[in-house]
Structure 1
Amino acid sequence: MNHPPLPFSQACENNQAPIFAVLQQAFADRRHVLEIGSGTGQHSVYFAPRLPHLVWQTSDLADNHAGIRAWHAQHPAPNLRPPLLLDLAHSDWPQGEPGSGPFDAVFSSNTAHIVPWPLVQRLFALAGAHLPGGGVLALYGPFNYGGTYTSDSNRAFDAWLRQRDPHSGIRHFEDIVALAAQHGLALAHDHAMPANNRLLVFHRTAAPADPAVE
C-alpha cells in the first residue's frame, strides 16, 4: 500500500537531537508530558521512544492531526498518544487519558514566535494554573536578548514572520521570563541551541494558585 507523503519539517529534523539532550534531564522525573503545537508530529515520534518512562501526549489544531497520526502510524511507540485538539485561542486545558494522572510537564517548540502574543500569554497562564508544584515547562525557539537580535539570520527571520503575519515575531527573552513569573513559573535553565535558538526550562514554583483558569 502506498502511503501519502508525510508532512516534513527540516528544522525538526535538525534540532531534535539537541533538544532531546536537554529533555532527557529536564523530564527525567516527569510522567505525563503535554506537547503543545505538535506540528508535523516529527518531534513526538523522536522523543517518545527515547523517554520510555513517560507518556507523550501530542496536541495541535485539527488541521494538523492527520499528519501527526501519519507519523505515529509509521513510527509507533507504546507511550505515544494521538493528538488532542488544543487551540490556544479557545481550548480548555486538556485532561489527557484516564489513568495517566495530570500533566506534570509541557513541551512546546517554535510556537511563541508564530502565534500572537495574547496566545503566548494564554499558554503560560494555562501551564501556570494547571501544572503541579515542581512541574516543568520547556519552550524552544529563537528569542531576542536585551532588545536586540542574536544574529543576522534571526533578524531576517523576524522580518519574514512579521511580513507574513504582523502579530507574529521573535519574542523578547525578558518578556517571556516576566510572563512566566506572573504565573508561578521560574526560569531554571536557558540552554543555547544550534541555529541561534534557545531551550528555556521553567519550573512551577508552588501548587497552582488559580486552577480556575480555563
Structure 2
Amino acid sequence: MMKMRLGNTMEEYSGSSEDKRIFAPAAQRNKQHVCDVLEKYLVNKTACTSVLEVACGTGEHTALFAASLPHLTFRPTDLTSQLFDSVIAHSAGLSNVLLPPATLDASNEEQWEALLGTHSSTLRALVCINMTHISPLAATTGLIQAAGRYLEAGEGLLFIYGPFTVDGGKHTSESNEAFDADLRSRNSEWGYRDIEDITRMAVAKGLVKVEIISMPANNFTLVFKRAAETLC
C-alpha cells in the first residue's frame, strides 16, 4: 500500500507500475452500493443515454457503472488529469465510456459550457461521489446549477453521494463529526454540507427532490430530478 493525493484528500491505494489502475479503499467500499441506486433509477431508461460523472477519481465507479448499465454512455470528469491513466485503465474494454476523461472544475461555469455547450442539454444523469465535503461550497453550487441547466427537462437525474449533516447541521455519528472537524482544520472551505441546505439550493435551481437514501457507513445518496420547466 502507498499514499497519494486523490482529488482533495490523501488516501491509500494499491497498484503497480505495470497496471495503471489505482484502487482507493473508499471506492471499493461504496461503489456497489452507489451502483445499486443508479440501477434502481436508470436501468429502464433509454430515451437519453448520456451520464456525466463529476469528480470521477480513480475511475473505479465509472467502470462499474458502465459495465452494469451498458445502455448508457458515461463521461468521466475530474478537477485535474492526475488520475486519468487510472480511469482509462479501469474502463479498458468498455465501449460505453467516453475517453479520455475531461477536466472539469464544477464551480467554473465556463468549463461547463466548454464541455456541454451553452444551451440546455439532454443528459440523463449527473453523478457526483464524495466531492461536496472536500471542496469549496462553490463546487457544489456549480454542480447543482449545471443540473438545472443540462439535465433533460422532466427526466434528468442528479445523484450526489457522500457524508452530510442533517436537520440543520447535526452529525449522524461521532466519527463523522470528528472527520468534519478535521476537514475544516485542514481547509476552511471544506466540511460537511447539510442535506436541507443542498435541497434548498436544488429547488432554487429548478430541481425536485426525489429521494434521500441512507447508505452504509453513515453516508447518503441525494437524488433530484430536473423539473419539466426550470428556473435556469
Q: So what's the TM-score if we normalise by structure 1?
A: 0.88
Can you list the C-alpha shifts for 1:115-149, whole angstroms capped at 9, x where unaligned?
Answer: 10112111111111121212100110011011210
Q: For residue 84 of structure 1, what is the amino acid of its counterpart?
A: A
Match of 1:52 in 2: 70
Matched, 1:27 2:42: yes
Which whole-Å CA distance do the structure 2 matches of 1:4 and 1:189 have between them?
38
Please state how far the C-alpha of 1:4 moved relative to its aligned partner.
4.5
Gaps of 5+ in 1: none
Match of 2:163 in 1: 142
Match of 2:96 in 1: 79
CA contact (8 A) 2:202 2:208 kept: yes
Match of 1:201 in 2: 223
Which whole-Å CA distance do the structure 1 matches of 2:202 and 2:139 have between them?
13
Please state how far the C-alpha of 1:63 moved relative to its aligned partner.
2.4
Q: For residue 161 of structure 1, what is the amino acid of its counterpart?
A: L
Q: Secondary structure at the match of 1:88?
A: coil
CA contact (8 A) 2:106 2:139 kept: yes
Out of 65, 70, 84, the residue aligned to residue 89 of structure 2 is 70
Please state how far the C-alpha of 1:67 moved relative to its aligned partner.
2.4
Q: For residue 77 of structure 2, what is the amino acid of its counterpart?
A: S
Structure 1 vs Structure 2: percent identity of aligned residues? 35
CA contact (8 A) 1:130 1:208 kept: no
Q: For residue 31 of structure 1, what is the amino acid of its counterpart?
A: T
Matched, 1:185 2:207: yes
Gaps of 5+ in 2: 1-16
> CA 1:114 to 1:41, structure 2 compared with 1: closer, same or farther past 3 Å?
same
Please state how far the C-alpha of 1:5 moved relative to its aligned partner.
4.9
Which whole-Å CA distance do the structure 1 matches of 2:229 and 2:22 have between them?
38
1:22-171 to structure 2, matched below 5 A, reads 22-28=37-43, 29=45, 31-61=49-79, 62-73=81-92, 76-82=93-99, 83-90=101-108, 91-93=111-113, 94-95=115-116, 102-133=122-153, 134-146=155-167, 147-171=169-193
Q: CA RMSD in A?
A: 1.9
Please state how far the C-alpha of 1:66 moved relative to its aligned partner.
2.5
CA contact (8 A) 2:20 2:89 kept: no
CA contact (8 A) 1:40 1:67 kept: yes
Q: For residue 42 of structure 1, what is the amino acid of its counterpart?
A: E
Q: How many residues align?
A: 204
Greater CA drift, 142-151 or 60-69: 60-69
Q: For residue 193 of structure 1, what is the amino acid of its counterpart?
A: M
Match of 1:172 in 2: 194
CA contact (8 A) 1:56 1:81 kept: yes
Can you list the C-alpha shifts for 1:163-196, whole angstroms capped at 9, x where unaligned?
Answer: 2211011100100000000111111011111000
Q: Secondary structure at the match of 1:81?
A: coil
CA contact (8 A) 1:33 1:106 kept: yes
